[in-house]
Amino acid sequence: MKKQMQAVSVEVADDGMVILTQQTNDLNDPDPTIHLSAEQTPLVSTWLYEAAGCATTHGDEAASETIPVRYFARGPDAEAEQLDVFCNAQGMVVLKIDDDAFIEISPAMAKRLRKQISVAIRESITDMLRPDLEA
């Protein structure tokens, strides 16, 4: 089965509308375009994500896998909490610490956070595997 994706372009018009265009190379018909307002784009993105099956599949998996953390806002003797990570209905990434404490960040900022965490992990592993100076 051959699968092919036509070229899709995204641009912002002078009036602030987001324009999606798919190149079809049909001489008889113009290329299809979709005009979205800035307010519509997050909602349409969520619909596309859900249609692809990523939101339901990965959202359930992420909600079921918790990350043990210590939340130090209540002092150094804080009890261990479970950190849940999921995408909410508005498309934001949520780090839920408990029922009263959570962090909500945009997907772009979550990617930056992931990059910073990856750097911290690499540095931690590098330090852990570094030979002792006394040996």
What integer pLDDT is reported at residue 35 of this predicted model? 93
Q: Is residue 4 part of a domain?
A: no
Tell me the average pLDDT across 44-70: 60
- Domains: count for the chain: 1
Handedness of CA 57, 60, 63, 65 (dihedral sign): negative
Q: Is residue 90 part of a domain?
A: yes
Q: Is residue 92 part of a domain?
A: yes
Number of H helices, E strands in the chain: 3, 7
Domain range spanning residue 93? 64-129
* Residue-averaged pLDDT of the chain: 76
What integer pLDDT is reported at residue 46 of this predicted model? 74
Q: Is residue 69 part of a domain?
A: yes
Percent residues over pLDDT 70 in the chain: 70
More confidently predicted of 128 and 117: 117
Q: Is residue 113 part of a domain?
A: yes
What integer pLDDT is reported at residue 63 of this predicted model? 46
Q: Which of 74, 76, 53, 56 is nearest to 64 (CA)?
A: 56
